[in-house]
A and B are shown apart, each in its own frame.
Chain A
Amino acid sequence: MTYVEYKQLNPFQRFAYNTKKFFCNIPHAVAHFFTALGKAIVKFFVGIGKGFANYGKTFVKGDWATKLSYLIFGVGDLSKGKYYKGILFFAVEVLYILYMAFFGWGYLKMFPTLGIQAQRTEYINGIIPKQVPGDNSMLILLYSVLTLVITVVVFAIYITNIKDAYRHQIMKANGQKPTSFKYDMKQFLDGKYHITLMSFPVLMIGIFNVLPLIFMILIAFTNYDKQHMPPGTLFTWIGFDNFGSLFNLVEGAKKGYTFIKLTEWTLIWAVAATFSNYILGMIFALMINKKGIKFKSLWRTLFVITIAVPQFVSLLLMNQMLQSNGAVNILLSNITNSHVEIQWLNQDATLARWVVIIINCWVGIPYTILSMSGILMNIPEDLYESARIDGAGPVKTFTAITLPYMLFVTTPQLITQFVGNINNFNVIYLLSNGNPTTEKYYQAGETDILVTWLFKLTMNSQDYGLAAAIGILVFVICATLSLIVYNNSKSMKDEEAFS
């Protein structure tokens, strides 16, 4: 379709066209992703190859100090008069060797087995029991990951050291002097400002996000659970068994059954929660922004209070109000003049699921109102006027102008919300806590979604391996969806359009 043809379509057809294009693009986007991934891998290996070539070349061309830098960090810099940098490089090497000798290697060498000797009780003289400490798989894994990360960082420093030595060698050959300490420091506020800005946040994220994440991803391939609790008992590598038990559909395999059922409910929940909030929220926003309605900001504030009150307060309150002796039942008793005691959340799965979705509207619609109000004000007024002149009623205007326009503008947001709902821990956990409980599921209730199941597996039954495997699968679902949005979103492609 050409641009002119596209411009001639009415908004509704445009939306249909875009939707079609969006879904037709999914295979393309996925294919694109894999080719990009393939290219990245090739590039990575080519890069490594080049790195090795450079590594050799520099060694051949280097003078004695550069060559010595291959063994002892910083010698090249020191010999060329760049003292502070040389000393720093050297200090890194010394510290790394000390770290490995006294701490890191002891754990890293047990990484392949995750420990052999569990903690045991020995009897001194055959009578007095004494705890003999053994290996601890958890600590071995944690510190091994730490050591590996440190090794990678030190390796990067090692390469920088060689490059720097060679650079100074060439500078000396050209008769240049190395830059002074003062000049280098000034560069950190200007040319190398990104290093100043990024190093602290990156360090924090590295320690408290990346490191735990690598650790948990590795945990998914171990049998770390209640029966394998270090230091009493050890856990070990089991390959893909955790994933296997999630996809095990044999009759009577409880974990597999729970996983399939919960995935099903998670998707239903995400679809219902996203669309109910979206459509109802749009209706609310339309009402508030309707011409001739006064006190617009008052109405908006009224609804926004639900977001403003901390979720644990509003949801715990809701949970209490929906108990058998809670406010809702009292209200119903007063109205019907009889004793009503409905178990809203604790008995019937279908009822509980409906209640959760409805309460989620109460929580979620204000968000939609907030984000929609701005967009609604941007719809060109002349569209409405010409529609009115053509004799369109309010319903027709809504279906032909407002809805297509909103859908067109907010599709990316819709998918972000969908991903958010898959991960919507608070609403389920605080409101229903996964209840009603059931015997059919493994450690989960009828309204549990995947992330709350993950939480319960970690906290209640210590099935760390299984929980980590679920975490990875949730990530795969969310990442795939986000990837499609990412490929389609304009703001990512031309981020400099406005500057």
Chain B
Amino acid sequence: MIKSYKLRRHIANAFVYLFLIVMGFVWISPFIYLLMHSFRGGAEIYGSTIIPQEWTLQNYIDLFTGSGGTASLNFPRWFLNTFVVACFSCVISTISVLMVSYAFSRLRFKARKKFMNVGMILGMFPGFMTMIAIYYLLKAMGLTQTLVALVICYSCGAGLGFQISKGFFDTIPRALDEAATIDGATKNQIFWKIILPMSKPIVVYTVLTSFIGPWTDFILAKIIMGDARDNYTVAIGLQLMIDQDFKNTYYKQFLAGSVVVAVPITLLFLKMQKYYVEGVTAGGVKG
């Protein structure tokens, strides 16, 4: 009886392994395709075979040196732009989010609940409903087609994303605050010296999410930048490369560019996921 039960379990597990292997392959096969074809050589724009027949590094070289007719597509510049924007907006957003979450979680003041409700309601409007208004607002400030505008756009609304880190702060025992208050600490000291050091997972999570944001967004960047190609971020840049005009020229360079962007972001994300699980399971158990 026991033996047959074991046997049955082995057979079941074998099926599960088979399923996972097949599905895992299906899941990452587009990326394998992406990786392989970014190294594809030859004159053909779209490959006619699944596995490339010629291999080359030329697509990457074209992308970074501007050879092979990609000079008008300034990929290194786009990469640098995105990096700068990501750094600045990451700093500003992280600070805003943590400040707002701490205030909502720990401080008790008049209209706290009202502020939280307004924050929730604002989050429910479709995000880009306001993009036209933001565009004209930035235009009135003379900021359209600049990287400053992008930093502002990515970081200004950050304070609204307080839910996750507030949830995390809520789980830190209040007794700690009280003990510190008795010892004469101000709220400011409690925030910097007690709460923040205890919140490493959620701080890292917030930093990484806000850093990744500018690399992946593309609607807002497209509207703000218009045709100022020198100020593009990688997202709109890559989309430009498979636009109607360029599609039949730069397809392979597009694949190479996608790899260049996807690899670091993927690594960051996998790193972030660890902190996400730590932070969110701690902050979200009450669900």
Contact = CB atoms under 8 A, between A and B. Distances in A.
Same assembly: yes
Interface of A: 138-139, 142, 186, 189-191, 193-194, 196-198, 200-202, 204-205, 207-213, 215-216, 219, 284, 287-288, 290, 292-293, 299, 301-314, 316-318, 320-321, 325-327, 330-331, 334, 362, 366, 370, 374, 394, 409, 412-413, 419, 423, 425, 429, 451, 454-455, 458-459, 464, 467-468, 471, 474-475, 478-479, 482, 486, 489-491, 494-499
Nearest to A365: B27
A196 B103 CA distance: 9
A279 B121 CA distance: 30
Given A190-B186, A204-B155, A316 B107 contact: no
Nearest to B134: A212
A142 B136 contact: yes
Given A197-B99, A204-B156, A305 B31 contact: yes
A327 to B, nearest CB: 6
B182 interface: no
B33 A327 contact: yes
A198 B99 contact: yes
Interface in B115-135: 115, 119-122, 124-134
A303 B27 contact: yes
29 contacts: A186-B186, A191-B187, A193-B191, A196-B188, A197-B99, A204-B156, A204-B159, A205-B122, A211-B137, A212-B137, A290-B13, A299-B20, A305-B27, A312-B235, A313-B261, A320-B242, A325-B46, A327-B47, A327-B50, A374-B281, A419-B124, A425-B127, A454-B128, A458-B132, A459-B223, A474-B126, A475-B125, A498-B286, A499-B170
Given A471-B126, A475-B126, A334 B270 contact: no
Given A193-B187, A287-B16, A312-B235, A317 B258 contact: yes
B130 A212 contact: yes
Interface string B16-57: 110110011001101101100000000000111110000000
B133 A301 contact: no
Given A330-B50, A490-B287, A454 B13 contact: no
Contacts of B24: 299, 302-303
Contacts of A205: 119, 122, 156-157, 159-160
A312 B103 CA distance: 35
Interface stretch (B63-71, B72-80, B197-205, B214-222): B214-222
Contacts of A138: 136
B262 interface: yes
A287 B19 contact: yes
Interface in B142-173: 152-153, 155-160, 167, 170-173
Contacts of B212: 310
Given A215-B133, A309-B31, A490 B140 contact: no
Contacts, number: 242
Nearest to A215: B133
B239 A330 contact: no
Interface of chain A, helix or strand or loop or mixed? Answer: helix
Contact of A216 (B107, B133, B255): B133
A232 B216 CA distance: 37
Contact of B160 (A209, A306, A318): A209
Contact of B124 (A370, A468, A482, A489): A482
A309 B287 CA distance: 28
B251 A320 contact: yes
B19 to A, nearest CB: 6
B238 interface: yes
Given A198-B100, A309-B31, A304 B126 contact: no
B133 A142 contact: yes
B137 A189 contact: no
Given A193-B187, A209-B160, A212-B130, A293 B137 contact: no
Contacts of A186: 186
A250 B276 CA distance: 51
Contacts of A202: 115, 159
Contacts of A212: 130, 133-134, 137
